[in-house]
Structure 1
Amino acid sequence: MRHFDSDTLAALVAVADFGSFTAAAEHLGKTQAAVSMAVARLEERLGKKLFERGHRRVTATVTGECLIGYARQIQTIEAEALEAVADRVTESRVRLGMPDDFVGSIGEALLHRFSPQNRALYIDLTCDFSRKLRLMMNNGELDVAIVTQAPEDPPDSVFRYERQVWCTGPNGHPEDEEVLRLAMFSDDCSARPRVFATLDRAERPWRLAHTSSHVSGIHLAVASGSMLTVLPESAVPAGWRCLGEADGLPALPALPLVLLVSRSERLAARQLAAFLRREFARAREPGVETVGWIEGAERDTPARNKAGL
């Protein structure tokens, strides 16, 4: 065997990236059977096993890891060659979307670690809620998007779990109020209904005191000291107080994040996606509660709150 087929190498890399034949097939726009067959034929030709098929996740063997590394290099060289001979100026822009409460942590990594290593690229960043970012991906308006997991996503599509925390300004104590006053993102936020449901299950009275479509609006409201909010742990401003069960507040489920990548196979999009997976991928950690995020999604909006407001 002296030659590799590009489609087979793409299937190999996709299975490694997503840890699932089903998710890899969805990314490549192929059937699960076609991806499985491509990898099986490659294993047969090589006479070696490339993946261990687990119950929940597929993992590469030592031989598989070795070949996947070469496959990535071949894909990069192929993409560079095609762009070099194309009758157009190489497109250096990559369109990235994410909720704006992740800009602080992820944006800093992009500026300090991705951009210096990829000077020919520039990132066109769009901040919005996950539902809108998914629509933009479907319409071809984005190349890469970081969104919260949805019921239609494969169970193993999560590339990072982000802790959610109760937080407030440095001087106020809104957690001591009989009825919690909440500053939250607007209706388009997919995490908000689960926060309300968590409070209802804990029988903690609350009312919605402020909404905003941007994290800056949440910061302004909470900085007054009379309101409480929920943010990803990485998005809590310096000096704010993080609260928990010791303060009479219920534990929050971790926020599962999914990385969506367009099927255009543009080199810029692949480079950015690979960086994000490498820098931010994190397995489920002990003690991080994730159960109940997707289950019962149709019951997102609670019928009441304990304060009756």
Structure 2
Amino acid sequence: MKQLSLDNLRTFVTVVNEAGYAKAGDILGKSQPAISVQIKRLEQQLSTRLFNKQGQRQVVNHEGLKLYQTAQKMLALNDELFSQFQPTLLKGRIRLGIPSEFATTLLPSIIGEFSKLYPEVSLEVTSALSKSLLSKDNENAFDLTMALVNPTTHVEGQVLLDDKLVWVSDKSIPYTNNTISLVVAPDGCVYRTRIINTLKQQTQAWRISYTNADLSGITAAIQQGLGISALARSSVPAELDIIQHKNLPDLGYIKICLITGNTQHPQACAKLAEFIRSKLVK
């Protein structure tokens, strides 16, 4: 099967655009004899002349103009294909809001890889409770916000995952307590609200033994035997175990959403969103 060389076609298009071999050679970094060889090769493959000589100049003819139109399309498709597989040079500052527990478990794997591929993009990260991240006070504070939302709550954003809420405890401390001791985040935490509302519907006794807004603090308290907690399955750190017990009620699901704000750097923001999505949804 015959195949035309894209390199020869690019040379041909450049000659037509620049109206001469010499100028085309300057642009392409090739000698006039090399340009001439490429044009002759095209003419041999197509069995037709592409230029007519007028004085000392080579002027594209009717057949050449037909090839010119098709060659432009072929080169455009070639360039578009390559652009899809080459990292775009992104610049700018992205303000990311992310729940505290995901800042601990998810963010480190994103930051390293993203920063290596896009060193000109600076990330400004704020970790807080989802309620705070989505508050009116922070309406224009973030370019991209990751947040936990109850299944019935409507949010203007993309739902990345309907994640299961699971009970967690320390690996070395078996759960046998009759009274459920809870290690939770402060008021406003979607986990805390779900846990308490669910337990209020049960006959099982419970109490809050420790409160901390940070996942590392919650994890440390659990490891010290102060109690158990609940997290979205995708945010459970390696130090903790998912547990099931007859005294522990089912907590249902939570939506993990990604909301794009009014950003000055939409391309960088979209790329960061793609990274978060790829790490979370497996």
Q: TM-score when scaled to structure 1?
A: 0.56
Matches within 5 A, 1:167-178: 167-173=168-174, 175-178=175-178
Q: Aligned equivalents of 2:247 and 2:191: distance in 1?
A: 21
Q: 1:238 to 1:149 in 2, by over 3 A?
A: closer
CA deviation after TM superposition for structure 1 residue 137, in Å: 7.8
Partner of 1:163: 164
CA contact (8 A) 1:137 1:143 kept: no
Give structure 1 regions of 4+ aligned residues with deviation exceeding 6 angstroms. Answer: none
Partner of 2:273: 273
Q: Aligned equivalents of 1:273 and 1:97: distance in 2?
A: 12
Which of 144, 154, 166 is 1:152 aligned to?
A: 154
CA contact (8 A) 2:105 2:236 kept: no
Q: Which amino acid aligns with 2:173?
A: G
CA contact (8 A) 2:210 2:226 kept: no
CA contact (8 A) 1:172 1:224 kept: no
Is residue 180 from structure 1 mapped to residue 177 from structure 2 by the alignment? Answer: no
Cα distance per residue 1:144-196 (max 9 Å; x no partner): 01001252326x842212332211223323x3222111010100202211112
Partner of 1:120: 120
Which has more strand, going by share of residues? 2
SS in 2 for 1:272: helix
CA contact (8 A) 1:244 1:251 kept: no
Q: Aligned equivalents of 1:231 and 1:120: distance in 2?
A: 34
Q: Aligned equivalents of 1:106 and 1:91: distance in 2?
A: 23
CA deviation after TM superposition for structure 1 residue 273, in Å: 1.9
Q: Aligned equivalents of 2:227 and 2:191: distance in 1?
A: 18
Q: Aligned equivalents of 1:99 and 1:168: distance in 2?
A: 20
Q: Aligned equivalents of 2:159 and 2:256: distance in 1?
A: 6
Q: 1:181 to 1:158 in 2, by over 3 A?
A: same
Q: Aligned equivalents of 2:241 and 2:281: distance in 1?
A: 27
Q: 1:206 to 1:102 in 2, by over 3 A?
A: same
Cα distance per residue 1:68-98 (max 9 Å; x no partner): xx8xx89xx9x98xxxxxxxxx962211111
Partner of 1:258: 257
SS in 1 for 2:135: helix
- Structure 1: gaps spanning 5 or more residues: 1-69, 81-89, 283-309
Q: Which amino acid aligns with 2:154?
A: E
Q: Which amino acid aligns with 1:160?
A: L
SS in 1 for 2:171: coil
Matches within 5 A, 1:96-245: 96-135=96-135, 138-149=138-149, 151-153=153-155, 157-173=158-174, 175-245=175-245
Q: Aligned equivalents of 1:254 and 1:234: distance in 2?
A: 12
CA deviation after TM superposition for structure 1 residue 233, in Å: 2.6
Cα distance per residue 1:255-274 (max 9 Å; x no partner): 21110111235232222123
Q: Aligned equivalents of 1:220 and 1:278: distance in 2?
A: 29
- Structure 2: gaps spanning 5 or more residues: 1-79
Q: 1:276 to 1:136 in 2, by over 3 A?
A: farther
Structure with max Cα Rg: 2
SS in 2 for 1:161: strand
Q: Aligned equivalents of 1:231 and 1:93: distance in 2?
A: 30
Q: Aligned equivalents of 1:204 and 1:106: distance in 2?
A: 33
Q: Aligned equivalents of 1:141 and 1:100: distance in 2?
A: 17
Q: Aligned equivalents of 1:167 and 1:198: distance in 2?
A: 16
Q: Aligned equivalents of 2:146 and 2:137: distance in 1?
A: 11
CA contact (8 A) 2:149 2:190 kept: no
Matches within 5 A, 1:72-91: none
CA contact (8 A) 1:97 1:127 kept: yes
Q: 1:220 to 1:277 in 2, by over 3 A?
A: closer
Q: Aligned equivalents of 1:276 and 1:242: distance in 2?
A: 23
Over aligned residue pairs, what C-alpha RMSD do you find?
Answer: 3.0
SS in 2 for 1:172: coil
Q: 1:99 to 1:239 in 2, by over 3 A?
A: closer
Partner of 2:95: 95
Q: Aligned equivalents of 2:227 and 2:169: distance in 1?
A: 7
